[in-house]
Amino acid sequence: MEVLKQRSLSNTALQPDEPSHLRELIESRDLLFTWVRREFRVRYSQSVIGGAWAVLQPLALMAIFSLVFGFVLQVPAEGVPYPVFSYVGSLAWTFFASALTFAIPSLVNNMSLVSKIYFPREILPLSAVLVCLADFVIAAALLIPLMLLSGVALRWTIVLLPLIIFIQILLSYGLSLIGAAVNVFFRDVRFVIPLALQVWLYASPVIYPVGAVPESLRAIYFLNPMAVLIDSYRRVILFGQLPDWGWLGFAAVVSIFILILGYRFFKRAENRFADLI
């Protein structure tokens, strides 16, 4: 908070619409890291098990999916134990869903700051995405013992994981910028997000393999970047395969496009935030 006070005093002459927004965001990295630490502490303060909640969410999804889809419905898992198969999908999906859930209302939830102090407002959704990334890393630590206990070997292709995570961050942040800006004008967004995420979950291979999608529909199915990313996670973590570079490249292009579009939309709408919040 001290960093924020210092910036508010030193940047009173900055114009919100000047063309150096990206440089300003980079220069504000100290504020960003301060805000990420604050958000992480606030999220788990007065919590009995603290950061363990980051593990419990994908773990609970894995348990439910394993019971319903793995045991009852006998959904195939492409040769690996279904709990491990579903945990990898749940990890990626929980990161994505949590990032949107926390980042989109971040402006409205910090209305006292947005309406009174000038700082790069895009820091708020970005910090929410980065806190969810920290949760993702914590939850991912459970994956290795889970794989070893299930007899799934570690593969060298796991070194490609940072690339897939980076693309997912671009996608999550781009969508968060659009959603956070629209949420300032239309609070209906907070009701739309849970519904949209539920539909999106079933449109992504979290609980079933990509092989269950008919070959004739595969091209349409992979227009969904999360379908490509979750499939890529499983390829490099569980199967020792390279990602489908063509589709992963497509997902990267879509994510970058959404990020550029979201950032420009956010900065154009930013001037009206203080009046509406």
pLDDT, tens digit (0-9, with 9 covering 90-100), for 14-44: 445 556 777 888 888 888 999 899 888 887 7
Which whole number is the average pLDDT over 120-143?
A: 93
Arithmetic mean of pLDDT over the chain: 88
pLDDT, tens digit (0-9, with 9 covering 90-100), for 50-98: 778 888 888 898 999 999 998 999 998 888 999 999 999 999 999 999 9
pLDDT score recorded for residue 276: 65
Phi, psi of 229 (to 5 degrees): -65, -45
Which whole number is the average pLDDT over 111-115?
A: 79
Which whole number is the average pLDDT over 152-165?
A: 95
pLDDT score recorded for residue 229: 98
pLDDT score recorded for residue 12: 42
Phi, psi of 208 (to 5 degrees): -140, 160
Buried residues in 163-173 as b, exposed as e (16+ CB within 10 A): ebbebbbbbbb
The reply to whether the predicted model has a pTM over 0.85 is: yes
Quickly state the pLDDT bin for 271 (edges 50, 70, 90). Answer: confident
pLDDT, tens digit (0-9, with 9 covering 90-100), for 188-244: 888 899 999 999 999 999 999 999 999 999 999 999 999 999 999 999 999 999 999
pLDDT score recorded for residue 274: 65
Is residue 166 over pLDDT 90? yes
> Which residue from 180, 175, 185, 182 is spatially nearest to 262, judged by alpha carbons?
175
Which whole number is the average pLDDT over 166-184?
A: 96
C-alpha neighbours within 13 Å on the C-beta side of residue 1: 4
pLDDT, tens digit (0-9, with 9 covering 90-100), for 133-144: 999 999 999 999
Which whole number is the average pLDDT over 240-252?
A: 97
pLDDT score recorded for residue 14: 45
pLDDT score recorded for residue 11: 45
Which whole number is the average pLDDT over 120-139?
A: 94
